[in-house]
Amino acid sequence: MKRFMLAATCAAALALASSALAQEKIRLTGSGASFPAPIYMAWFKDLGKKNPNLTVDYQAKGSGAGVQDFLNKTVDFAASDSAMKKEDMAKVPEGVQLLPMTAGEIVLAYNLPGNPKGIRLPREVYSSIFLGKITRWNDARITAANPGVSLPDLPITVVVRADSSGTTAVFSKHLAAINDEFRKSLGEGNTVNWPASDKFIKSPKNDGVTATVRQTPGAIGYIEYAFAKLAKVDYALLQNKAGQYVGAGNGGETLAGVKLPPDMIAWLPDPDGAKAYPITSYTWMIFRKSNADPKKAQALREMVEYGLTHGQKMADAMGYIPLPAGVVDQVRTAAANIK
């Protein structure tokens, strides 16, 4: 009888402890990429409503700054559009787990008098614009691609990122893949030494580039599709590898043909397919495999699971690409490494 009472007492104590743990408030902090910031902010706000005991604070500082915060251990997780370099991963004794949480497309937003829609830009043209080789909107190569469109005799103002940016890494990787001169002279990375010209303007983060394009007649800049959609700015139809002019919003078909390797990092610098949008990329959250606080580790896994379920349902409406079902399964399996 005493043994039964002792067991019942222990069970009750365990139930109380479990209940107390469930009621404990946990705050997670993250920083990094501005590319996925709109959808992440929406996720974290809704997650907080569904679980009032879990708060996620995220600062869109740029991919480079997010990775540095992660290395400095000032955040619980980071976000980056350029994944994370292996040499940086080696600096994290707890181990690193990268998880692609959403995907998006980079568009070339522009500001032209009369607001002409869907300006067509051949591969050679838009890569040459960012080399500083094509400098006016009525250049013969642009007008030839846009018969019937009256293009102004206006200088092209090129708007690029001022900060260390995963968006820049994805964009420059694409330009390097399609233009040998760009690859040899400017290369690729989170930062690029853009041509020294008063027609190249630097602005911080995706929203900064978007605002500068909107305020500058004759401007063109690279931004994530969701920002273009939200700001209602015009963006170009880009010529893909198959020679077709395509607009953003078709990235799902592009991603469908990509198989993620075990490290969960895959690039699409110049995708195949007649309907493929040419600048499409996953964007990653970055976690420590071993976390000092098991409650935070559990909360991080809960945050990931929310993103894989409820979160994916928001993607299309916000201008992002829902993860393919097979990728969701891979990410869910890998998330178990966060302990």
Q: Is the dihedral of CA 146, 149, 153, 159 positive or negative?
A: negative
Number of residues assigned to the chain: 339
Separation of alpha carbons 102 and 38, rounded Å: 12
Question: What is the pLDDT, as a whole number, of residue 23?
Answer: 62
Same domain, 170 and 181: yes
Question: Do residues 99 and 135 share a domain?
Answer: no
Q: Does 319 lie in the same domain as 289?
A: yes
Is the same domain home to 171 and 229?
Answer: yes
Q: Is 90 in the same domain as 123? A: no
Helix spans in 150-261 (H): 166-178, 180-185, 205-215, 225-231, 251-256
Model pLDDT for residues 147-175, shown as the tens digit of each residue: 999 999 999 999 999 999 999 999 999 99
* Contact in structure between 289 and 337 (CB atoms under 8 Å): yes
| CA 321 to each of CA 36, 78, 272, 316: distance values in angstroms, whole numbers, following the listed order | 11, 20, 17, 6
Q: What is the pLDDT along the chain (339 residues), one digit of tens a residue?
A: 433 343 344 344 334 333 434 568 999 999 999 999 999 999 999 999 999 999 999 999 999 999 999 999 999 999 999 889 999 999 999 999 999 999 999 999 999 999 999 999 999 999 999 999 999 999 999 999 999 999 999 999 999 999 999 999 999 999 999 999 999 999 999 999 999 999 999 999 999 999 999 999 999 999 999 999 999 999 999 999 999 999 998 777 778 777 889 999 998 899 988 889 999 999 999 999 999 999 999 999 999 999 999 999 999 999 999 999 999 999 999 999 999
pTM to 2 decimal places: 0.87
Number of domains in the chain: 2
Query: Would residue 273 count as lying in a domain?
Result: no
- What pLDDT does residue 193 have? 96
241 with 137, same domain: the answer is yes
Regarding whether 62 and 200 lie in a shared domain, the answer is no
- The domain in which residue 135 lies consists of 105-256
Q: Are residues 145 and 248 in the same domain?
A: yes
3-state helix, strand, coil in the chain (%, to 5): 40, 20, 40
